[in-house]
């Protein structure tokens, strides 16, 4: 019977996977995050590049005592976030970008605001978004996570989520003191394997940087392919001593 069912699913292009209770399997990002963050009854999460709050909302659904600090440089998205989370005291909106220094930089607003970034889109042929319309660019302030945590007295961050469209490694450099101190338990970050933005870091640079601060890869999630190759994905890292 098992063989018949397996053959039927295979013909339909499906697979049946067993997920033992309480074990991270790398199949479902939110199932795995719920398991990993459950060790702390009141996890502190930082959502860098919050956009319109989909990830922040999902994090807040993980438990009643979750706290989210969301960074978003786009004024339009800030307005959407303020409205969406207006009545949730667990959510803190910080209307600026995060990087590796306190500075003001040009921010590129694209018609698809999920693509907006401190880096311009790459014109490489392999970039499926190279023709995306840029609506405007303006100057936006940035700070560092090191400084923000010091100002607020944050002693630990249970999850640092970074989706900054090619600016991710600079955000990590701005959190180096926290990482070195072991204050960040998990990092959820986008890795781009094709040229989407000018001067974007290679995935190997990000993985190496995190490994150098004691964070090891849990798994790759939300994989997007272009043809026969991996184009981009979300990667989850965890402190080696947890």
pLDDT at 153: 96
| Per-chain mean pLDDT for the chain | 94
Mean per-residue pLDDT, 72-78:
96
Mean per-residue pLDDT, 119-145:
96
Would the pLDDT of 122 be above 90? yes
pLDDT at 8: 64
Mean per-residue pLDDT, 59-85:
97
| Structural domains present in the chain | 27-239 (3.40.50.150)
For residue 58, the 8-state DSSP code is H
Residues whose CB falls within 8 Å of the CB of residue 9, separated by 6 or more in sequence, listed in order? 15, 16
pLDDT at 242: 84
Mean per-residue pLDDT, 16-34:
85
Can you read off the two tokens belonging to residue 89? 């005291």
Where residue 160 falls (left for φ over 0; alpha for ψ -120 to 50; beta otherwise) is beta
Mean per-residue pLDDT, 61-75:
97
pLDDT at 9: 55
């Amino acid at each position: 019977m098992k063989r018949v069912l397996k053959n039927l699913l295979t013909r339909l292009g499906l697979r049946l996977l067993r997920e033992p209770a309480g074990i991270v399997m790398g199949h479902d990002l939110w199932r795995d995050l719920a398991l990993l963050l459950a060790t702390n009854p009141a996890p502190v999460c930082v959502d860098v590049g919050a956009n319109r709050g989909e990830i922040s909302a999902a994090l807040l659904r993980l438990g009643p005592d979750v706290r989210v600090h969301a960074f978003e440089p786009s004024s339009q998205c800030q307005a959407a976030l303020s409205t969406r989370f207006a009545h949730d005291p667990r959510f803190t909106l910080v209307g600026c970008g995060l990087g590796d220094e306190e500075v003001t930089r040009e921010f590129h607003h694209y018609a698809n605001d999920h693509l907006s970034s401190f880096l311009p889109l790459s014109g490489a042929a392999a970039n499926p978004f190279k023709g995306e319309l840029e609506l405007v660019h303006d100057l936006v302030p940035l700070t560092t996570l090191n400084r923000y945590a010091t100002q607020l007295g944050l002693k630990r961050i249970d999850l640092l989520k970074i989706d900054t469209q090619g600016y991710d490694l600079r955000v990590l450099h701005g959190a180096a003191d926290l990482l070195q101190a072991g204050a960040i338990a998990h990092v959820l970050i986008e890795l781009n394997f094709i040229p989407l933005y000018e001067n974007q870091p290679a995935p190997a640079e990000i993985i190496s940087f995190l490994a150098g601060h004691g964070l090891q890869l849990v798994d790759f999630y939300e994989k997007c392919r272009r043809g026969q190759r991996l184009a981009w994905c979300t990667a989850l890292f965890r402190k080696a001593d947890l």
